[in-house]
Structure 1
Amino acid sequence: MTNPSKLFSPIRLGSLELQNRIMVSPMCQYSAVEGNPVDWHFVHLGSLAISGAGLLCLEATAVSPEGRITPGCLGLYSDENQARLQRLVQSLRSVSAIPLALQLSHAGRKASSRTPWEGGSLIAEADGGWRPLAPSAIPQKPEEPAPNAMSVKEIRQVADDFAQAARRARQLGFDAIELHMAHGYLVHQFMSPLSNQRTDEYGGSLDNRIRLALEVFKAVAEAAGPGIPVGVRLSASDWVDGGWDVAQTIALSKQLEALGCSFLDISSGGLSHAQAIPVGPGYQVPFAEQVRQEVQIPVVSVGLITGARQAEDILVQGKADMVAVARGFLHDPRWPWRAAAELGATVGTPKQLLRCLPRGHEPIFGDVRIGQR
């Protein structure tokens, strides 16, 4: 059966074909222990795995202990992390064929933070935190201690850490990797002149400020191998005068595309406490649209995309190739079911749940319509 909906049409990310254009956006849960997933991850991600989405991306996963946003963030920097994550992947694979992506990240100066429900402030070293790393000794907030400005040796170690995490992700059988270069985390900190005031080869000009981004991408793409598409999440704007902006985003996007990047996930903000963001439905879609006009690879749009018609219109109007939904899934883990019912499309559903699809949208299973015996 051919779906009449653009949202429920297939799309290819590099070598990976997805059944529809809905991505479960990576959503930090701040519940890990020493980087390891816990029971919460099995329940939370298990529910999303049977949602009918085209792609499930796991939350930001640190490539080193000091790269965690909070002590409760996932990591993939040790054998124990890999073994525990293997159990989670096996659990998800046992209930769903949904493709799995892993978002690799380093928090930079935003590391060693309390969880959002604890206020999100920096945890002092005396209280069990650690000294964050950054391109320059500029604190995230004026009242916080400055992070350690990284040496060139430490910068190059970051690229190695990303590559090693990518090798582990390949061994775990992930279908795709997304590199987190947005939301004010380490790679974004190098990109923005607001947080990068270096005078060496990693600071100053645009080419220097994006050097780490390109080095990380190349290292990960080589480590992942040709069978695993590697994409990048970017903040298209700092929402602060003199900061990172969409023109620089497009310039970086073109270079990433030339290196073999499989998709771009376009977000914004997160770098500066001075940001002024006019939050509203689809407020980041214009950034995705501008990037999409300049590249040939798929572009994912995010940002308060909550309605089926809203998502469909974004794709039909050529503003993006996919949508990534986060809060909508937290509110309704079966969001794709509702969207398919509204758009007259079909969606993959576990046999055990066929009877509870929206009325009037019961699927054909083989040649038999599922119903009450």
Structure 2
Amino acid sequence: MLTVNKILKHITKKIKINDKLFKNRIISSPISINMAREGYVTNNIINFFSNLAKSGVSMVTIGAASISEQGNDTLNGMIIGPKKYLTKLKLLSKNIKKFNSYSSIQIYHVGAQGNPIHNKQEIVGPSKYLYKNIGVECKPLSLKEIKKIKNDFVKAIIQAEDAGFDFVEIHLAHGYLLHEFLSKHFNKRKDSYGKSLFNRFRIISEILEDVFKKNPKIKGKIGFRLSANDYVKDGLNIDELKKIVKLLDKYQPAYFVITAGLYETAKFKYLDMKKGKYWNYAKKIRKITKTPIIAQGGITDLYTANNLIKNNFSELVGMAQSLIADPNLIKKTFSGNKKKIIPCLAHIKVGSCHRCRYLKQKNQTFSCITPTSWKPNSEIISKGEIKKDIKLWENLNKEIYG
């Protein structure tokens, strides 16, 4: 009779990325819990990500730290660029490492999908763009403003290294600013940052070249979150992503995470995630690069994760909601207590929730209706609120899936 360890041998196999030896193939996917204070890391943030590190993953990814105040999509989001944030960032990376887990911090600029109600900033993008649900047309960036944003990205990447994070993940997906430069759906520019793919990629290449010039040690430590499908006619697709991957490969990336979708195409994104299409996108990219691929999106158990590695979809797998619902999922699985794993309550009740990640209207803080999940120091979820949340997400689910 096969033991759990033998059945799950593919996700327990070690893998080396750059000079880091990963103890297994499981990472926690980036999550933004919206609990910073004026951009600063708080105790709740440290506790949340430390709890994920304690779960047994080989790497914890801190979600969406903005390069600047302008780039933030919420008043409670983390900011990484300016020096004043360094001390608290160091504390965050240090606490994750206590539990034998590597750390990666994802950085981004919200771009044209921003909402001034939530971040109190001017909304900018490569070209004019209006996301109807927000109703604010963004201002096209001038060359001078692009230079400023490039410098902000460079500072943020170097600050992540100085803070002790093992990797930096640059967000090139989900319709955020750098993705907007890559995608013709957003980028209508006619200057050196528009039209051809080479020009649309220019801002990224200039950021990377400047980083490596200022700190060559960062080579091999930058991962990228990439969109395989924007679900719009003039957006990115798997064929164009393959070309982008070839351009990125010249810069010795640490890893690629494959995802899809924009704010305006979330409906299609969730449907594809449920069908496992994200994993198929990952497999297609894996065939054309030697850079390690992280498959993610709808992976809720280690048996699914193991099969993805076994069948060459990716080198690693990213999980989020299931690890939040039951932080002991990995330990319970390997001890043979599979039946004792507490699944995400929202998945059982409504098929989807995302309150742990999408934070309703981007202006609230993290919470999870599953009783076993991590809870913030300042928040206890009542039974009444759980019922209210379930009703809310039942309605949202009907909206998304029909």
Query: TM-score band, normalised by the shorter chain?
Result: 0.7 to 0.9
**Once the 2 structures are TM-superposed, how far is the Cα of residue 275 of structure 1 from its aligned partner?**
5.8
CA gap 1:132/1:342 in 2 versus in 1, 3 angstroms: farther
Structure 2 partner of 1:267: 259
Is this contact kept in 2: 1:301–1:324, CA < 8 A?
Answer: yes
- Greater shift, 218-227 or 133-142, is seen at 218-227
Question: Identity of counterpart residues, as a percentage?
Answer: 26
Please give the root-mean-square deviation of Cα atoms over the aligned residues, in Å: 2.2
CA distance in structure 2 between the partners assigned to 1:85 and 1:315 by the alignment: 32
CA distance in structure 2 between the partners assigned to 1:343 and 1:229 by the alignment: 36
CA distance in structure 1 between the partners assigned to 2:165 and 2:33 by the alignment: 19
Letter in 2 for 1:318: N
Structure 1 residues 194-233: Cα deviation after superposition (integer angstroms, max 9, x where no partner) = 1111111111122222222222333344455336611111
The within-5 A match list for 1:115-130 is 122-123=116-117, 129-130=120-121
Residue 282 (str. 1) matches residue 276 (str. 2): yes
SS, match of residue 152 in structure 2: helix
Structure 2 partner of 1:310: 304
CA gap 1:7/1:253 in 2 versus in 1, 3 angstroms: same
The within-5 A match list for 1:1-373 is 4=6, 5-93=9-97, 95-111=98-114, 113=115, 122-123=116-117, 129-141=120-132, 144-223=135-214, 225-226=216-217, 229-273=221-265, 276-277=268-269, 278=271, 279-280=273-274, 282-341=276-335
Structure 1 residues 303-337: Cα deviation after superposition (integer angstroms, max 9, x where no partner) = 01112111111111001110011111111122322
**Once the 2 structures are TM-superposed, how far is the Cα of residue 181 of structure 1 from its aligned partner?**
0.8
- Greater shift, 82-91 or 324-333, is seen at 82-91
Letter in 1 for 2:17: L
**Once the 2 structures are TM-superposed, how far is the Cα of residue 63 of structure 1 from its aligned partner?**
0.9
CA distance in structure 2 between the partners assigned to 1:342 and 1:289 by the alignment: 30
**Once the 2 structures are TM-superposed, how far is the Cα of residue 283 of structure 1 from its aligned partner?**
3.2
The two structures have a TM-score, normalised by structure 2, of 0.77
CA gap 1:271/1:327 in 2 versus in 1, 3 angstroms: same
SS, match of residue 106 in structure 2: strand
**Once the 2 structures are TM-superposed, how far is the Cα of residue 289 of structure 1 from its aligned partner?**
0.6
The two structures have a TM-score, normalised by structure 1, of 0.83
CA gap 1:66/1:12 in 2 versus in 1, 3 angstroms: same
Letter in 2 for 1:105: Y
SS, match of residue 65 in structure 1: coil
Letter in 2 for 1:246: I
SS, match of residue 190 in structure 2: coil
**Once the 2 structures are TM-superposed, how far is the Cα of residue 142 of structure 1 from its aligned partner?**
6.5
CA distance in structure 2 between the partners assigned to 1:195 and 1:271 by the alignment: 12
Bigger helix share: 2
Is this contact kept in 1: 2:94–2:164, CA < 8 A?
Answer: no
For structure 1, the 5+ residue unaligned runs are: 114-121, 345-373
Number of residues of Structure 1 aligned to a counterpart in Structure 2: 329
**Once the 2 structures are TM-superposed, how far is the Cα of residue 271 of structure 1 from its aligned partner?**
4.8
